[in-house]
Amino acid sequence: MTRTAHALDAWDWFRKRTYHHSRFGDPAVLVRAKEERALSVSVCLPTRNEGDTVGAIVTAVGRDLIQDCPLVDEVVVVDAASTDGTADRASEAGAVVYQEADIVPDLEPLGGKGDALWKSLFVTKGDLIVFVDSDIREFNTRFVTGLLGPLLVEEGVHYVKAFYERPLREGEELLPTGGGRVTELVARPFLNLFFPELSAVIQPLAGEYAGTREMLESVPFFSGYGVEIGLLIDVVEQRGLDALAQVDVDSRIHRNQSMRELSRMSSGVLQAGIRRLASTDRIDMRTQISHVMHQFRNVGGGYEPETTTIRVVERPPAVTVPGYRPGGA
């Protein structure tokens, strides 16, 4: 299939596989579909010093989707040694909490978001897994029901991405849009240039997504912030566009990061993307990717360099790891 054909397919996919969360707004309908297919559902939150928000998210999911209706079977938090009480607040709200370092401890610790998500496959039990970022403010369970909807009621869907407006806080003012800067400045141009079949994905780096366990355990995970772009590319390479869906969940308010932090995040995204260019034979890599990121700080009267090592590592498909058992069974 030519790249032009891929680009045209993207818009056929957009019309077929783009939904609004209201289409899946009745949890009872989703529960019936879940029970008819004898499936279980895990919601997983990766955390690192998210004590201000994680409790409210876990509480909402437990109240609306476990107590009020049996849609979700467990809420699991994979914590990266938080120092602000995140683990305690998540546990008090009803989550099962694991420390990232305690999961498959025999493997080299990598740290970062992608590794936490990959490790979650070893401790969650669900046939369907919903990943939710733990810094969302004013959380609503439409994030969960919207993502589960296509997996439960649409034929052939194995992976679902959320999309939304991203308000941007400037001082005390909350602007209605303007967030998602890494997406607009890095990920979207990159995908349009090299993976045009993914050009109709509205939020390719969204931290809220869901998938079938069978699919998630069959693809590799990049460590750090490369995880989202890597999963998106790998799912479509393995299963085709029709296995992917996207759902509008309206708006997402969270802690906006500084430009310096976003620059480091961009490095991780690009490292993962470039590695996928090579592994899918879109480019011939003739040099090693540098893991060193140089930034500069104005210290008054001059600039001082600041160097960070951003090492993106690829974890293999979980199902290939010796001794892998979902939920540690």
Pair 244, 17: CB distance under 8 Å:
yes
Task: Give the CA distances from residue 241 to residues 14, 51, 186, 265, in Å, rounded to whole numbers and listed in that order.
Answer: 10, 37, 22, 26
Task: Tokens 């009621």: give the residue.
Answer: 153
* Residue-range domain boundaries for the chain: 3-324
DSSP 3-state of 23: helix
Mean pLDDT for the chain overall: 91
When mean pLDDT is compared across 4-13, 15-24, 122-131, 161-170, the lowest value belongs to 4-13
pLDDT digit string, tens, across residues 108-145: 989 889 999 999 999 999 999 999 999 998 899 999 99
pLDDT digit string, tens, across residues 19-51: 999 999 999 999 999 999 999 999 999 999 999
pTM: 0.92
Residues 1-6: contacts with CB under 8 Å, at least 24 apart: 3/196, 6/196, 6/197
pLDDT digit string, tens, across residues 64-104: 999 999 999 999 999 999 999 999 999 999 999 999 999 99
pLDDT digit string, tens, across residues 212-258: 999 999 999 999 999 999 999 999 999 999 999 999 999 887 566 67
> What fold does the segment set 3-324 form as a domain?
Spore Coat Polysaccharide Biosynthesis Protein SpsA; Chain A (3.90.550)
Angle at 37 between CA 98 and CA 203, to 5 degrees: 60
Q: Let me know if 125 is exposed, middle or buried by CB neighbors in 10 A (0-12, 13-18, 19+).
A: middle
